[in-house]
Structure formats: C-alpha cells, structure tokens
Structure 1
Amino acid sequence: MREVVEQIHGQPASDGAGVNLLRVFGGSRPQRFDPFLMLDEFGSEEASDYIGGFPSHPHRGFETVTYMLQGKMEHRDHMGNVGLLNDSDVQWMTAGRGVIHSEMPKQTEGKMRGFQLWVNLPAAQKMKPAYYEDVPGNEIPAYQLNKLFVKAIAGEACIDGQQIQGYFTVPDTDALFLDVHLQSNSEVTMPVAEGYNLLVYVYEGEELLLGRKAVKTKSQMLSRFNPEGDLLVTNNGEHQARFIVLAGKPIKETIVQHGPFVMNTVEEIQQAVRDYDAGVLTA
C-alpha cells in the first residue's frame, strides 16, 4: 500500500474580485504535485464571499476543471462560449495558447460550493488551440458500490473489483479525478499506476485513516503519497466521509508560473504577458 509522505492544511485565500476560498495546494514547489498545479475549494452561504466572482481574465499553458457541488456559475469566453454550471455540473477548459474568460455567480443568496483544479500541459501541448466543455452532472458517470459511491470525472480506475471509467480522458497525463463518498466503518482500496503522483483531499469527514500505517486525516486536509503501491482509505467515523482522489502521470518538465500563465521558461512567461498586452494572446 502507498503511504502518506506529506499532509497540507488548506489555507484561506482570496482571488478574482474578492472571492473567499480555500487554497488546498498550489504555489511553492509545484513539481511534487505534477501533473497537478493547484486545487481550490470554494464554499459559503454568505453572498459577500462569492458575489464578486472572477471577471474577465486570461490563461495560457494548462487546463482548468471546475466541479460545482452546489450553486450557479456562468462562464463566458473570447470564443463566444456561454455556459451555466449548476449543482453537480463539471466544466473542463483547456487554455492552451490562450483563453480570456469570466466566471461569475448567477445567484445572490444561498450556498455556493465547489472545486477548481489546475492540470498542467506538457510543453508540446501548451500552445494548442483552446477547448471548452460543460457537462451536466447527470452525465458524469456515477457508481454505487458496497458502502461506496464514486463520481468519476476523469480517468479510469478499478475499485473493489469494479472498473470505473470517468467522463473525460486525459491522454497527456492520464489524470484521474474522482469524488468518493465512503460510508462509516468501511474501507476502500484502489490500484494506482507505479510512478504516478497520488493526492487525497478530504472535504467532509473527521475519522479517515490512510495506508497500512493508518495516518489520520480530516476535513480540509490534503495528503500526498509515495509513488508506489495501492491506495487504502478507511473510514472509522460515525458518518459518511467525502473526498477527492487525484492521480496522474508526472510530466517531469520545468514549471514556471506567473499568475494565470504556466509555461516552461521565464522567456515564455514574458512572451505570454506581451501577447496579452498586445491583444494577441488568443490569436
């Protein structure tokens, strides 16, 4: 079994036009999460925490995955796409050469909750054309197993002998993105390809144990594992636990990030800034 090598508490942050969120990981030493760059959790019943949204802004060199648990968020971009994310919907956006978009709440009260994951692109794909897709929540594959529910956003896995196939396939990194709900007093095991980075983020639950060493984790904590072996999660709590499982093949390239741009060199970042300033980022 894989064992935990690092645990990180999500940190309060603010982004966009004053949106309060929890930065689960991102920023320093990004290579240890490769191919993933950042994970944010947003969630509040206070409109003031999210109403400012994320006005028009650029991206280049990576992909974003937005997973709405609850709420309404509208996407608009330079390609003319307009989409509304509702409860349980997923958006996959490949920035590639360049995207300029906005993400704005379409509610003024009630709870908004969800995640945004940044997935890196290899150098050979960073300048490919932009791509965008909204997927209704009822089209994302869902599996009900013994004491276990899995929503499979991306990738494939075998859980307790059941083959799990996500909606999205990610050839460059073989990325896996699962939302797992584990009932009390139960456990789940899952093989993970050798050498792939594996992350588990708990967003509900307080009595979870990871690996044979039974390392404790809890809500709003990310655990990173060593690169060999299977995943084992045990829920000893009295209530259902909910957690995100991320796994992927490392790209193993230099990562240089400057705000909304993620490239391989400082010179490429400088070019992205020049392109944006000149109005040709998406050309």
Structure 2
Amino acid sequence: MTTQIEQSQTVLQSRHIERLVEGRATSDGAGVRLTRLLGQDLQRRLDPFLMLDAFASESADDYIAGFPDHPHRGFETLTYLVAGRMRHRDNAGHEGLLETGGMQWMTAGRGIVHSEMPEQKDGLLAGFQLWINLPAAAKMIPAGYRDVQSPEIPQFAVAGVQVRVLAGGSHGVIGAIQRPTTEPLVLDLALSAGTRFEQPLPAGHNAFFYVYAGEIEVAGRNAGMRRMAVLSNSDKADGVVLRARQDSRVLLVAGAPLGEPIVQHGPFVMNSREQIEQAVSDYQNGRFA
C-alpha cells in the first residue's frame, strides 16, 4: 500500500557529491557476476557500511551457481531483490524465499553459515547486498534472520517520486527495519524526469546513493547510471536534494558511523587481528552452530 504525502520535508542546504564511484566488476560465491561499489577502500569513509554489491543480468550463466554455504561473523546484511527469486537457508534453521521487491535482513553476529541460491533458470535477476557493521559490543550477539516480502515494505509517494522505505524512516514513514546504534536509512527511489526528492540527514551521518537507472543531479553535479555517489559531510548541510534529469531509480543510504577499528578477512569483520584469527578457528572447528 502506498501512502500519499502531501508535502515533502524541506532541506535548506543540500550535501554535494564528493566523489563518483564506477564500481569494479567481479564475481563471488560460485561465480555470480556482480559490481562491487563499496569495498575496503571506502569502509572508513562510509562507516558503518562495509560493502555494497549490485547485480543485474538476464543471463543465467551469470548467476545460476549462486552462493553455496559460506560463513559470516561480526556484521549484518541487507539483501534487496529488484527482480527475480532467491532462497536463503542457514545453519540456525532459518529459511526464506526472496522474491521481486522483497528484502531480507540477516544478523551474522557471533557466526552463521548460510546459502543464497537463485530459484529461476532464466530471466532477470537484479538486486543489491549491503553489509552494515556491528558495534564491538554487539559483534558476538546471536545470529538472526528476517524476511520482509514486498507488500510489507512501507512506501509513499510525494511530488512525482515513489519511495520504498527499507530501513530507517522518511517523511514520517517508518521503514521495515530499525537498528540501534548504526541507525541505517535505506530508500529505494523512483523519480520521474524533472522531479526532485528532499531527504533530511543528520550532519554526522555518512551517506551515499547509487543510480541504477537514469541520471541524478545533486548541487550542480550529475551522477549517471551505474554510478555510486559519496555525499559530502558538512555541518551546514541538513540533508540531500536529488533531481532527476530523466526517469531514474536510486538507492539512497545513510547511517551513523561507529568510529571503531575495522579488520576484515573475507566474510569476517571484527575489531582486531586476534578476533579474526578466533573467527577462522571457530568456523574451522564447527563452532558456528
């Protein structure tokens, strides 16, 4: 159900685009082709976000092998499927089918082993996976998992813009996921050509957006299709104003930085090398049950 918002929240001074990121073509899992937009080189700058992968292909050869069983520890993931079907299973007993427009939130916490496998043999599979760090005090919490089907994701329309609120809150609409400490905001925006969307943001939060269709202008600088834009931090800016130069789709992300050490070794993200070594040992010795 879409809520109609009569008047958008006003941003008096927009952040600007600090950097445009093209992303790096790579593969993961059993050979799934994807674009890595946020990796270790941007983890400090975009704290608490650790990784953003985008995938979109109509060729089954690019995705059919999926992501067989693999471990994680120390962070959370948001997987959002724009098109297609994918099944999640893990060693904590969770199972869910992710379908077009749906999302899943997984807390790896102290350890989880899961798989994400496409449930289609042809057609478009497209979506995103975002990794969100856990604070040091919460890295060893029990693993968790939640499915949010497409009809359950709150959405609203304002001034020609359709907004799906995956996490956080926007224009008084509370999203499907709320998280303490990192306070992630994740919006999927569909903007008609010539429209604008204003989103207030706390000055201390890091923010970026990814254009997966069309072209967006922010404070006089354009971000084209398949570009991620890192937004500036400024005490004078109270949010961001996005203007669509053509019909566009955008993933807008922001969150509160943790300011803690980040040590990553593949699927494990902890605060020290010793903790990473412990994670590897625990996984190898079957202690991720």
TM-score (norm 2): 0.92
1:246 is aligned, of 234, 253, 265, to: 253
1:136 is aligned, of 145, 149, 155, to: 149
2:221 is aligned, of 197, 215, 222, to: 215
Q: CA deviation at 1:157?
A: 2.5
Could you say what secondary structure the match of 1:143 adopts? strand
In the alignment, the residues of structure 1 paired with residue 245 and residue 83 of structure 2 have an alpha-carbon distance, to the nearest angstrom, of: 27
Matched, 1:266 2:279: no
Q: CA deviation at 1:58?
A: 0.2
Match of 2:187 in 1: 178
Q: CA deviation at 1:236?
A: 2.2
Could you say what secondary structure the match of 1:32 adopts? coil
State the AA in 1 paired with 2:263: V
Name the stretch that deviates more: 9-18 or 27-36.
Answer: 27-36
Matched, 1:55 2:68: yes
State the AA in 2 paired with 1:276: Y
In the alignment, the residues of structure 1 paired with residue 226 and residue 275 of structure 2 have an alpha-carbon distance, to the nearest angstrom, of: 34
Q: Quote the sequence identity (%).
A: 45
- Tell me, yes or no, if the aligned pair for 1:24 and 1:220 is still in contact at 8 Å: no
Match of 2:6 in 1: none
- Residue by residue over 1:33-77, the C-alpha shift from the partner in whole angstroms, topping out at 9 and shown as x without a partner, is 101111111111100000110000000000010101111101110
Matched, 1:193 2:202: yes
- Residue by residue over 1:247-278, the C-alpha shift from the partner in whole angstroms, topping out at 9 and shown as x without a partner, is 00000001000000000001100100000111
Q: CA deviation at 1:191?
A: 1.0
Pair 1:221–1:54, CA change in 2 (3 A): same
- Tell me, yes or no, if the aligned pair for 1:75 and 1:83 is still in contact at 8 Å: yes
Q: What is the aligned length? A: 273
In the alignment, the residues of structure 1 paired with residue 42 and residue 32 of structure 2 have an alpha-carbon distance, to the nearest angstrom, of: 25
Q: CA deviation at 1:225?
A: 1.4
Match of 1:12 in 2: 25
Question: Which structure 2 segments of 5+ residues have no match?
Answer: 1-13
- Tell me, yes or no, if the aligned pair for 2:187 and 2:253 is still in contact at 8 Å: yes
Match of 1:106 in 2: 119
- Residue by residue over 1:167-209, the C-alpha shift from the partner in whole angstroms, topping out at 9 and shown as x without a partner, is 1101121100000111111212121001100111100013x21
In the alignment, the residues of structure 2 paired with residue 276 and residue 46 of structure 1 have an alpha-carbon distance, to the nearest angstrom, of: 34
Pair 1:29–1:189, CA change in 2 (3 A): closer
Match of 2:233 in 1: 227
In the alignment, the residues of structure 2 paired with residue 102 and residue 266 of structure 1 have an alpha-carbon distance, to the nearest angstrom, of: 26
Map 1:71-86 to 2 at 5 A: 71-86=84-99
Q: CA deviation at 1:29?
A: 4.1
State the AA in 1 paired with 2:109: G
- Residue by residue over 1:120-173, the C-alpha shift from the partner in whole angstroms, topping out at 9 and shown as x without a partner, is 000000000001011110000011112100000000123xxxx23211101121
- Tell me, yes or no, if the aligned pair for 2:208 and 2:231 is still in contact at 8 Å: yes
State the AA in 1 paired with 2:86: M
RMSD, aligned CA = 1.0
State the AA in 2 paired with 1:209: E
Match of 1:43 in 2: 56
State the AA in 1 paired with 2:166: I
- Tell me, yes or no, if the aligned pair for 2:214 and 2:245 is still in contact at 8 Å: no
State the AA in 2 paired with 1:192: L
Could you say what secondary structure the match of 1:55 adopts? strand
Could you say what secondary structure the match of 1:33 adopts? coil
